[in-house]
Amino acid sequence: MSGLADDLKLLGDRTRLLMLSLLKEREWCVCEFVEIFDISQPAISQHLRKLRSKGIVKEQKKGQWVHYSLNVEDKPHIQAVLQLTPDASTILAVLNKTQVTACCEILH
């Protein structure tokens, strides 16, 4: 039960919950999250580190950039929560982000 409580505690943070909701549809780069949430890269990385440490997200290096994706196949409680969250286009609209320009894509 403590593992379940720890996982749900991580989802109690609005930014992390929004990140996971976005990750339902595709992988995202740290630089995209920086643009979406208008917070610093270290702050974004700290959120992702917490999620990665619990195995909720996984990372993959692509050149100098790190891309994150969901890793909740073995976490039905998180899957259930994410089924209730809005899709990426709705989240981006609420955050007034009609288009996200990934710095990692520009430099390729």
Read off the pLDDT band of 107 (50, 70, 90): very low
Number of other residues whose CB lies within 10 A of the CB of residue 57: 23
Distance CA 7, CA 78 (A): 8
Distance CA 33, CA 24 (A): 14
By the 10 Å C-beta count (0-12 exposed, 13-18 middle, 19+ buried), 73 is classed as exposed
Q: Which CATH number does the domain 2-106 belong to among 1.10.10.10, 3.40.50.700, 3.30.70.270, 2.60.120.10?
A: 1.10.10.10
Q: Report CA-CA distances (Å) from 19 to 1, 2, 94.
A: 24, 23, 14
Number of other residues whose CB lies within 10 A of the CB of residue 87: 12
Mean pLDDT value across the chain: 89
Domain boundaries, the chain: 2-106
pLDDT of residue 108: 43
29-80 residue pLDDT tens = 998 999 899 899 999 999 999 999 999 999 998 888 889 999 999 999 999 9
59 sits in which H/E element: strand 57-62
pLDDT of residue 2: 75
Averaged over 68-95, what is the pLDDT?
Answer: 93
